[in-house]
A = this chain, B = another copy of it.
Amino acid sequence: MRSTMMDAPLQVARILEYGATVHGTAEVVTWTGAEPRRISYAEVGRAAARLAHALRDECGVTGDERVATFMWNNTEHLVAYFAVPSMGAVLHTLNIRLFPGQVAYIANHAQDRVVLVDSTLIPLLARVLGELTTVRHVVVVGGGDPEPLRAVAGDRVTFHHWDDLLAGRPEHYDWPEVDERDAAALCYTSGTIGNPKGVAYSHRSIYLHSLQVCLPEGFGLGPGHRELAIVPMFHAMSWGLPYAAFLSGASLIMPDRFLQAAPIAEMIAAERPTLAGAVPTIWNDLLAYLDTHDVDTSSLKEVIVGGSACPPTLMRAFSERHGIEVIHAWGMTETSPLGSVSRAPAGVTGEDAWRFRYTQGRIPAGVAARIVGPLGEPLPADGTSVGELEVRGPWVTARYFGDDAPDPEKFHDGWLRTGDVGMLSPDGFLTLTDRAKDVIKSGGEWISSVELENALMAHPDVQEACVVGVPDRRWGERPLATVVVREGASTSVEQLRAFLAESVAHWQLPERWAVIDAVPRTSVGKFDKKVVRSRYAAGDLEVRELAGP
């Protein structure tokens, strides 16, 4: 029996329309290094209409064509986030940190027709534009000179300046009703081996995911909140913060290209965010800065940390030294990206609460999760059975863009294989011990590289630690500990090994150690273990060998 309910699609245009009217006085602030730029959500609504008219009338965007962005987190990127999907086209957020070859592969694979580029990124785009065979229009945001782009693009590309392009266009656009399962945005994941893979979010998945972000068990957003969105808009849709802001009436603070600890500290003091989101490395840098500078962070109640495991020491340091609660969250490009959020259950306090907060968090109703064994067999959610995490739900991808069928390496019986290894508790808390490919198999036993890293980072002299498995004649594989020592501190690998021995089983203690200057990073700021392993293999690391197990 059919219901009598209306057939009202969940669509990005509705989020825009709502935020731009009911929450029209909320604002988006973009950092500039000098006076920040601010515009209201009502103005974002008008700018989105103008952009849509321009894309249709000047760039010939019709149907579901792809409009790419090559941009920092800023106002214009936000306008594109709304305009492109609302008009029925598909927003493709290009990752500015990928190698040129990867950018070209992605843009061609997605068949991007238009690229919006920040002036400050013209040199980076110029390295690849010549290879972007489907691009016909480039829109330059800001006052930069597009000459370096023109030089490589040939005749096939028309250039526009954002301001000129939008000037004088109607401030209203009759957003079409879309099929909610159609694509709204496209994002390629950097986490896979081989060529990057695309995930096409639907209007439906974005809308549902945004509601989840706003829920008290998510990020708990409402009017009056101010979100500092550090996590890039080219990485998993900035964790849904932009759309959630318009749905909830929370204001947005955008760092543009100012991602170092000093300007972020300044933004916090000046713009008084209530919530912020970024990967652990950003918070690690910021912590060191806050510890040595006098910054007013009193507005900031919670920072969401995800993208890779957050070391418990980092969480405690923020709480104890700065009164800022780090909320650990898990997700992936393939899951929109939320994922679990780690809030202790009601009534749990003190050390017990910390035990929950160290986990990757609680799975929401929209994400069904299970742990499976080596043969893909489901294991109990008993808090102890360890296996690969599989998820499914309305904002989880079923396959990669362009694939006819789900790749069995990544999908299993309608579930997404996350490649993450860990356990689920009966009450829905997820604890990850490692990435499947980073688990160290030593003499038949498994060693969690993340556990060793967390234990090492608890040492006051350790700024960062990255542990990878390396080949070993006797055990098959053994951990290699690479450590960044805090500025001004002096410690030895012997001391660190002794420190580790206090919290880690003897047989898990690494014998190979290297003190390094910095841990190599992926394009989205995570530890790049592939690079560490290959540097080791190439003999590029200065390795000390201590006694084995």
Contacts and interface: CB of A to CB of B under 8 A. Distances in A.
Given A211-B211, A346-B223, A427-B24, A202 B398 contact: no
Interface residues of A, number: 72
A47 B181 CA distance: 35
Contact of A428 (B15, B22, B183): B22
A10 B19 CA distance: 25
Contact of A3 (B183, B220, B248): B183
Contacts of A19: 365
Contacts of A416: 6
Contacts of A399: 4
Interface in A397-449: 397-401, 414, 416, 426-428
Interface string A1-14: 11111111110001
A199 interface: yes
A223 B215 contact: no
A392 B6 contact: yes
A400 B4 contact: yes
A1 B249 CA distance: 30
Contact of A397 (B4, B18, B222): B4
A162 interface: no
A6 B345 contact: no
A529 B395 CA distance: 47
A394 B6 CA distance: 6
A201 B5 contact: yes
> How many copies of this chain?
2
A216 B250 CA distance: 12
A380 to B, nearest CB: 12
A204 B3 CA distance: 9
A112 to B, nearest CB: 13
Contact of A22 (B22, B346, B362): B362
A198 B428 contact: no
B2 A183 contact: yes
A114 to B, nearest CB: 15
A233 B212 CA distance: 26
Interface string A228-270: 0000000000000000000111000000000000000000000
Interface centre among A363, A392, A398 (most CB of B within 10 A): A398
Contacts of A525: none
Contacts of A8: 368, 392-394, 396
A21 B424 CA distance: 12
A27 to B, nearest CB: 12
A205 interface: yes
Given A22-B427, A222-B346, A363-B22, A5 B202 contact: yes
A6 B393 CA distance: 6
Contacts of A1: 64, 90, 182-183, 200
27 contacts: A1-B200, A2-B200, A3-B183, A3-B200, A3-B205, A4-B198, A5-B181, A5-B398, A6-B392, A6-B394, A6-B414, A8-B368, A8-B392, A9-B394, A15-B365, A19-B365, A22-B365, A22-B427, A22-B428, A23-B427, A23-B428, A24-B427, A215-B222, A215-B248, A223-B345, A224-B346, A225-B346
